[in-house]
Structure 1
């Protein structure tokens, strides 16, 4: 497996982490300081920042240059999400976060990495995906406890 292909794939995942970081930043700004979701979202955002750091380190180990933002497509998707499909109340914010984690965080990652990573990189991505699945479980439990 060629390192350049691995670096390219890891950089796409890294851009996705930045997109998640910025999405959670937007969610956090919309929540009242008293909201119990606020601390959960801050914790998830910290996890995403840590994942971005891990991916950046792996890219550097492979002698690549890590991306530093979500890229143009990510910025467009974030803009659309914040300005067209924007959630207003806590329940909508939760649903939006779950959709983002499931669709962009997990499903797109699984499709992106299929047969494109070495064992060490794939192991890292699986650890990140496990954590993202935990995020979804946490968010879903909050959504169902608010009903």
Structure 2
């Protein structure tokens, strides 16, 4: 049986991934010089911000508290990303990192979808998964 506590925990995992995505795209936007790539990154980042708003509201409506921070895992991932990119990175490398990050987000969303969710939460997670897959397709067009 699905409990609200289990569902809220799963949705908070997804929420943390959204915060990680925003931080990653802050780094990508800062490092890329090409305006059209920067604009695409900003569009994808906005989509993640929208996902946060939807998830946070749903968690609150369920009586839970959204975990609105990166957490230790997110902070470590952000540090690793900065180290991986180094001082200079070309646009191709940055786009590859963005695709890799979005792919990890899709994997996380798929894991959440396989977990204990009520129908409404499953629909929300599924919509986020679809948007993340669309973002990957958008990033691939930049290559």
TM-score (norm 1): 0.91
1:86 equivalent in structure 2: 85
> Separation in 1 of the partners of 2:103 and 2:117?
21
Which structure ranks higher in relative contact order (CA pairs < 8 Å, sequence separation ≥ 6)?
A: 2
Q: Does 1:131 align with 2:109?
A: no
d(CA) in 2 for partners of 1:131, 1:64:
24
Residues 17-96 of structure 1: matches in 2 within 5 Å? 17-32=18-33, 34-83=34-83, 85-86=84-85, 88-96=89-97
- Over the aligned positions, Cα root-mean-square deviation in angstroms equals 1.1
The CA distance in 2 between the partners of 1:50 and 1:57, in whole Å, is: 11
Runs (4+) off by over 3 Å: none
- TM-score, normalised relative to structure 2: 0.94
In structure 1, C-alpha distance between the alignment counterparts of 2:71 and 2:58, rounded to whole Å? 19
Could you tell me how far apart the structure 2 residues matched to 1:115 and 1:128 are? 15
Structure 2 unaligned spans of 5+: none
CA offsets 1:19-61 (integer angstroms, 9 cap, x no match): 00000001001122x4310000001000000001100001001
Give the distance between the partners of 1:58 and 1:29, measured in 2 at CA. 31
The equivalent residue for 2:16 is 15
Deviation at 1:137, TM superposition (A): 0.5
Deviation at 1:86, TM superposition (A): 1.3
Where do 5+ consecutive residues of structure 1 fail to align?
A: none
SS at match of 1:56: helix
